[in-house]
Chain A
Amino acid sequence: MTIQSKAAPVRFDGVSKVFGKDVRAVDNIDLHVDAGKLVTLLGPSGCGKTTTLRMIAGLEMATSGKILIGDRDVTKLPATDRDVSMVFQSYALFPHMTVLENVMYGLTFSGFAKPEARSRALAGLDLVGLKGFDSRLPSELSGGQQQRVAVARALVLEPQVLLFDEPLSNLDAKLRRQVREDIRAIQKDLGLTVVYVTHDQEEALAVSDEIVVMRNAAIAQMGTPRQLYDAPNDRFVADFIGEANLLPCEILSVDGDMAIIEIEGYRHTLPSRGLPTGPATIAVRPSRLVIDSGDGVPATVAKATYVGVRMEYTLTGKFGQVFAVHDNVDTPLEPGTEVRMGFAAKGPVLLPE
């Protein structure tokens, strides 16, 4: 008995969700999730990502727009009738049922005979590495194990779409990395369509085929992790994915798809991304700031922190304050040191002002 995949794509066409009279939780979004892909909904709390997920599940009904799973319009279908399962943040294991009963629960409503449901459930538990735990109660499992039961319970239904609502937030840091890798491995092995909600950008970067960054009930940017990290559309995305220093600059000239910018006399060449000359913003990751390269913007070391693998510096100057990291831990800079701050050749991105 193995778990099959019936992966199907998910489509949102102009979907909105309004709570009460005028609270717009999701505002007219279009979204396409390819079959067999893991897509993450990422954003700060209150951005509408969980509502979007719950609309896929059928736990919330769209106020307007259309939702398709596979080629079926499910906009008006309740959760019961959608071929979707979900792993909850709290796991939502039924405390009065054993692990096996929990995993079998959904199968019994899917028309499987008992022995069949049982063997499928056992296969599911096997898949998540919980063989032999079937007669325990959820309260007798550790957090990580409970999490896996929740995954198995959702998996065995072979849903068209599998949903995860911040599944790792209740685990400690070490376990998180382990579990997210497990989830990714299972998803890839089975070719599942997964929609995954998190507010942790590192988690999103690690597991996703594609990330949807949401802000204020709308989609801010959609793309592969690399695209979002390297080419954020705006200041919000740049700041939310990874950490970015946002500095005001002036585009002096544009030549083809390259531009020359200037900050306090320091010039740098980088892709123009279609921006015209004039004031703009440059986003620089902390690791892409080159400290004391000789050339650069004048700055002062305000704070220096040793964190083991690297040094973290806070630099101040006329531009304001930036955050930089440096691999040289052997000869750290003292606070108060005057430095020149330059940009690495690759990495900095131009954004509209």
Chain B
Amino acid sequence: MRVSTTDKTSHPVLIFWILAGWVGYCLLPWYMVEDGLWSFEWLFDGYPFDEDYAPAAFLIGQGEKIWLSPLLIPLALPLLVLGRVKSDPVYSRILILSGTLGFGWLIAQGFSIGIRGFNYDWLGSLFGDIRLRQFGMGYGAMICATAFLFLLTQGIAARGAINGDVFVVSAIGGVITIVTAFVFFPIAKMLFAAFVTEDGAYSISVFFAKFFDDRLWGLGCLWGARCGAAWNSLFLAIMVGFITTALGLAFALVVTRSGFRYKRALRALTVLPIITPPFVIGLALILLFGLSGTVTQFVAELFDLTPTRWLYGMPGVLIAQTLAFTPIAFLVLIGVVEGVSPSMEEAAQTLRANRWQTFKTVSLPLMRPGLANAFLLGFIESMADFGNPLVLGGNFDVLSTEIFFAIVGAQYDQGRAAVLAIVLLFFTLSAFYAQRMWLGKKSYTTVTGKGDSGVHPLMPKGLAIPVMVVALGWALFTAAVYAMIIYGSVVELWGVNNSLTFKHYVTAFSVRFEEEGIRWTGAAWDSFWTTITIAAIAAPLTAAVGLVTAYLLTRQSFAGKNAFEFGTMLSFAIPGTVIGVSYILAFNVPPIEITGTGVILVISFIFRNMPVGVRAGIASMSQLDRSLDESSLTLGANSWQTFRRVILPLLRPAILAALVYSFVRAMTAISAVIFLVSAKYDMATSYIIGRVENNDYGLAIAYSTTLIFVMLAVVGAMQLIVGRTQIGRRMSQSRTNV
């Protein structure tokens, strides 16, 4: 006989969070410990009485920070429910009350009292000008807040929400809270910054003045002057979207519908954008096509032309972005082109359509939603790209770099950065919205699970030849660019002294073996290890948040699920520069004060890459028959046990993929990172940008090349492992799903 958890009076999870709340309040340092909690120096440095390290309880005991004392009430309240059964209405009421009070008070006090006393004047006039101040919340406060949050969700679950499922309600509450804190809050803070006048007041006219700026919307390029950054970005993004989609389609057709022999090599192209640090392609293009580039010089001598700086500006950025994002379109379109059921094409052929007619009337129309999807992806990626315009932009200003220079430039203008970010966000969100709302309903490539034994017909000849030429030509070009990258890393001083040398690698990665062990003497090691560490911490967290979210989205239904989904996928459409700016604005002051720490980097990676984890999770979870988890539930496992023992083991390949992907993305990210790095936590990409700025191309390219090979190894290892597990899973799946 199964004992229902509903009748139990001692709930281990409840007790855990009550305890956690008290530990956070009475034992852990309440505020940020400057040297980090994990150094444990605070333990020997005046804890628990020193004001910097004291837990809240000790602070109050010494008459300090008395505004933390009301928290004792919600901390004590849940003790009343111990011994009560879950179905008792008092149980849920008390927990909800305690959670709301505690969480609410924590937030309220955090925002009201800052480092210089009250943050709002009316509070000062209400309570008088008392000398109050506090720093950012530390682990004590954080654990306390978490405890309140989960007490609240347990109360809500006990009231019967989501069948009273504590795990699901808590997971929803948790995801909503962190997404609100780390996506919506900073974005909102940034939006407000767009309305701030120079003396700190709010004004709409300031916003409009900045919004209708000529530098943003000017159309000067029509008569020889310069166009505004908004138009430039838009125009560039549309071009990139079209070209990458066309090239991606050409590649996909070659791989799936031609007799081409080296398909696997072509497929390997799809890995490139993932493992390439930004702006490396830009550098390689300069080395090839710049004023003194190899190709430029060669052509100029051959035809006796005067070399020009044509690369700098729109053409260069366009080429670089096309190189960078074509593989993404390729990746998307392979799935689409393969997803068109061969039996449809075979049916068309038996209905007397020839190859060309079949392609035109059946295959292509069925691919149309996929093409639109690839276009929008290229559009969004181009809008958000930061590295290539930075290196190759010339006088061609785009939004992403303008945002950067509005913040870091001598004219330092947060308001302008915010306005630019809003425009950029508007573009990407529109594309994102179009992609979801319009395309979401239009996919023709549904996988039915039924074996489709047909074979894709080959392309018609008239199409095959140009497609092959274009695809292979571009593939060769890509290969040439990457070869250039490697070559560039072993040249002494590009264009001046072309002798081969390993000196850049030595400068960056030399080690010395001494008695005490290895000394990492290379200039790059610091940032290299920081990058690896941060990426390694961020990757599992990203995968975890992504998979839990995917689980909620695919396996649970609850009110507001659509909004929830939109919210979690939103950060996909937020360009990194926007995230960077908004994080600086939001997290430099209490209550969450994490700029300059490694934590902010980790968090920015989690929320930048979360949509990828969510997508991977959704994709593989929707392949898992729902009856698997239902049967687990009817066998007496609760939803947490089901998640852990049935879903997670079956998702191992997806988890691994999400892990590696977020790891690699964290290593190559630049746009958000460049705002968030600090002396202690310098990342590889921002270090490389520094070298580029310093004209030290050799070192920059050597470092980038090393990163490419490191990531190639990581991705390769993953494909080996995943490849194997996937085969195993497919076999077992096909049998169970008969």
Contacts and interface: CB of A to CB of B under 8 A. Distances in A.
B638 interface: yes
Contacts of A157: 2, 635-636
B636 A86 contact: no
Contacts of B639: 80
B160 to A, nearest CB: 6
Interface stretch (A93-101, A256-264, A291-299, A318-326): A93-101
Contacts of A91: 736
B125 interface: no
Given A81-B2, A90-B737, A146-B736, A106 B635 contact: yes
Contacts of B645: 105
B729 A106 contact: no
A110 B638 CA distance: 11
Interface in A45-100: 57-59, 61, 76-86, 88-96
A349 to B, nearest CB: 39
B445 to A, nearest CB: 24
Interface in A141-155: 143, 146, 150, 153-154
Contacts of B646: 94
A79 B633 contact: yes
B638 A80 contact: yes
A6 B1 contact: yes
B450 to A, nearest CB: 14
Given A6-B1, A96-B650, A109-B641, A77 B635 contact: no
Nearest to B6: A81
Contacts of A139: 731-732, 735-736
Nearest to B168: A78
Contacts of A80: 5, 633, 636-639
Interface string A98-130: 000000011001110000000000000000000
Interface stretch (B178-186, B505-513, B623-631): B623-631
Given A106-B637, A153-B635, A92 B630 contact: yes
A154 B636 CA distance: 10
B3 interface: yes
Contact of A95 (B164, B627, B636, B729): B729
A187 B239 CA distance: 68
Contact of A78 (B633, B735, B738): B633
Contacts of A85: 634-635
B649 interface: yes
Contacts of A83: 1-2
A79 B650 contact: no
Contacts of B2: 81-83, 109-110, 157
A93 B1 contact: no
Contacts of B731: 139
A154 B2 CA distance: 13
B3 A111 contact: yes
A138 interface: yes
A92 B2 CA distance: 21
B634 A95 contact: no
Q: For chain A, which range describes its interface: under 10, 10 to 19, 20 to 34, or 35 or more residues?
A: 35 or more
B163 A138 contact: no
A137 interface: yes
A61 B731 CA distance: 34
Q: For chain B, which range describes its interface: under 10, 10 to 19, 20 to 34, or 35 or more residues?
A: 35 or more
Contacts of A158: 1
Main secondary structure, interface of B, reads helix
B113 to A, nearest CB: 42
A76 B6 CA distance: 10
A81 B4 contact: yes
A78 B649 contact: no
A146 B737 CA distance: 11
Contacts of B737: 90
B703 to A, nearest CB: 42
A84 B2 CA distance: 9
For A79, A81, A93, the residue with the greatest tally of chain B CB atoms inside 10 Å of its CB is A79
B735 A138 contact: yes
B649 A59 contact: no
Nearest to A96: B649
B641 A92 contact: no
Contacts of A96: 649-650, 729, 732
A78 B634 contact: no
Contact of B738 (A6, A57, A163, A170): A170
A95 B737 CA distance: 10
Nearest to A106: B635
A139 B633 CA distance: 22
A62 to B, nearest CB: 11
Nearest to A138: B736
A94 B1 contact: no
B165 interface: yes
Interface string B658-698: 00000000000000000000000000000000000000000
B736 A88 contact: no
Nearest to A170: B738
A290 B633 CA distance: 54
For A6, A90, A92, the residue with the greatest tally of chain B CB atoms inside 10 Å of its CB is A92
Contacts of A93: 736
A146 B165 CA distance: 30
A105 B635 contact: yes
Contacts of A89: 627
Interface string B156-180: 0000100111000000000000000
Contacts of B4: 77, 81-82
B636 A106 contact: yes
Contacts of B3: 111
B349 interface: no
B6 A77 contact: yes
B164 A90 contact: no
Contacts of B637: 80, 105-106, 109
B733 interface: yes
Nearest to A61: B163
B726 interface: no
Nearest to A143: B738
B597 interface: no
A98 B605 CA distance: 38
A79 B164 contact: no
B237 to A, nearest CB: 38
A317 B522 CA distance: 99
B630 A88 contact: yes
A77 B738 CA distance: 32
For B625, B636, B638, the residue with the greatest tally of chain A CB atoms inside 10 Å of its CB is B636
A47 to B, nearest CB: 20
A81 B160 CA distance: 13
B632 interface: yes
Contacts of B735: 95, 138-139, 146
A94 B729 CA distance: 11
Contact of B732 (A61, A76, A90, A138): A138
A92 B732 contact: no
Contacts of A110: 1-2, 636
Contacts of B628: 92, 94
B633 A95 contact: no
Interface string B1-39: 111111000000000000000000000000000000000
Contacts of B641: 109
Nearest to B650: A96
A119 to B, nearest CB: 18
B733 to A, nearest CB: 6
A91 B638 CA distance: 19
A153 B636 CA distance: 12
17 contacts: A58-B634, A76-B164, A77-B164, A80-B636, A80-B638, A81-B4, A88-B631, A92-B628, A95-B733, A96-B649, A105-B637, A109-B637, A109-B638, A139-B731, A139-B732, A139-B735, A154-B634
Closest 4 A/B residue pairs (Cβ): A106-B635, A95-B732, A139-B732, A92-B631
Given A96-B649, A139-B736, 5 more contacts: A76-B164, A80-B637, A90-B627, A94-B628, A95-B650
Interface of B: 1-6, 160, 163-165, 625, 627-628, 630-639, 641, 645-646, 649-650, 729, 731-733, 735-738
